[in-house]
């Protein structure tokens, strides 16, 4: 391994944005540490990368083990300049099934914090580095369809703001990436989506944000304007719009349910 080359770790690299980011960073000359729940997918991805990479199975639902695996991976890489924390889950959960709520909190909030903690302590010791968290435009407001998802993304954004404050007088960067709708398994089959972009476009935008050292970056950038407006809606108007959206989205399904023979 060439110790002089920059090294990046991607947590959640086997699919979607993480996979596209692995290809982008590898094409830019990074040695990439790939982590995810499926070692088989990671090993297939390795064959597509132009530069050197190392793959390790890592599941943030088993957080203590995941943190241990990350520390070992950093040692094997002989250091780390950049970490991208992309692991996340999303469930439509209007019935408030606790198993779904718990998993979203466990992965998106607790898992993120544990991985970010390892990275923050490593970079603090070495006085340099960049932490990138893939949160979401969903972090701005609550959602009756997936309360834990939006809340867990808000946790990520606030946690990263705290880390930025902690490292504000140092060379360490903390970048909050807030994507809109990206064409991944997480959103496929859902209605009412707009402005959908490919994982490759998202990866390019994220890479540019890292290069520019932004604090917060919306992907695509026009989401910043959308969310500026969205966050200023009074809660009563926001809830009214949500109910109208549900009536439109669920109307055909409810009509089908009523038409089914009992």
DSSP 54-85: EEEE--TTSHHHHHHHHHHHHHHHT--SEEEE
User: Quick one: which H or E segment has residue 88?
Assistant: none
Terminal-residue alpha carbon distance, the chain = 66
How many whole angstroms from its chain centre is CA 107?
10
Which residue of the set 149, 159, 207, 218 is catalytic?
A: 149
DSSP 167-236: TTTSS-EEEEEEE--BSSTTTTT-SS--S-B-HHHHHHHHHHHHHHT-SEEEESTTHHHHHHHHTTS-HH
Closest by Cα among 89, 67, 87, 109 to 12:
87
The set of residues, in sequence order, having a beta carbon less than 8 Å from that of 255 and lying 6+ positions away, is: none
- Determine whether 122 is an active site residue: no
Residues forming the active site: 149
């Amino acid at each position: 391994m060439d110790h002089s080359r920059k090294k990046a770790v991607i947590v959640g690299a086997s699919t979607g944005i993480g996979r596209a980011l692995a290809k982008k960073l590898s094409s830019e000359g990074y040695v990439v540490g790939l982590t995810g729940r499926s070692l088989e997918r990671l090993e297939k991805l390795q064959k597509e990368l132009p530069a050197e990479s190392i793959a390790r199975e890592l599941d943030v639902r088993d957080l203590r083990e995941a943190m241990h695996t990350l520390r070992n991976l950093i040692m094997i890489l002989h250091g780390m300049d950049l970490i991208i924390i992309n692991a996340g889950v999303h469930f439509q959960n209007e019935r408030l099934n606790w198993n779904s709520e718990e998993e979203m909190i466990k992965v998106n909030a607790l898992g993120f914090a544990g991985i970010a903690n390892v990275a923050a302590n490593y970079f603090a010791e070495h006085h340099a580095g960049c932490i990138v968290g893939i949160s979401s435009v969903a972090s701005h407001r609550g959602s009756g369809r997936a309360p834990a998802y939006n809340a867990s993304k808000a946790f990520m954004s606030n946690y990263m703001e705290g880390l930025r404050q902690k490292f504000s007088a140092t060379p360490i960067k903390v970048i909050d990436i807030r994507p809109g709708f990206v064409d991944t398994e997480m959103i496929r089959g859902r209605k009412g989506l707009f402005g959908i972009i490919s994982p490759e476009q998202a990866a390019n935008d994220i890479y540019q944000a890292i290069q520019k050292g932004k604090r917060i970056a919306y992907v695509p950038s026009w989401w910043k304007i959308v969310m500026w407006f969205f966050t200023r809606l009074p809660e009563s108007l926001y809830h009214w719009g949500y109910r109208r959206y549900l009536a439109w989205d669920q109307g055909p399904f409810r009509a089908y349910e009523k038409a089914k023979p009992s």
